[in-house]
Amino acid sequence: MTTALRAKNTRLPPEVNRCLYVRNLPFNISSEEMYDIFGKYGAIRQIRLGASKDTRGTAYVVYEDIYDAKNAVDHLSGFNVANRYLIVLYYNTAKHSKKAGTKEKEDELRRMQEKHGVDGLQHPRPK
Q: pLDDT tens digit string along 78-99?
A: 999 999 999 999 998 776 555 5
Nearest to 27 by CA among 62, 52, 61: 52
Q: What is the CATH number of domain 10-116?
A: 3.30.70.330
Map out the domains of the chain as residue ranges. Answer: 10-116
Amino acid occupying residue 126? P
pLDDT band at 110 (very low <50, low <70, confident <90, very high): confident
Considering only 3-12, 24-33, 103-112, which range has the smallest mean pLDDT?
3-12
Q: pLDDT tens digit string along 39-74?
A: 999 999 999 999 999 899 999 999 999 999 999 999
CB 65 within 8 A of CB 18: yes
Nearest to 83 by CA among 125, 32, 2, 24: 24
Is the model's pTM score more than 0.75? no
Note the pLDDT of residue 103.
74
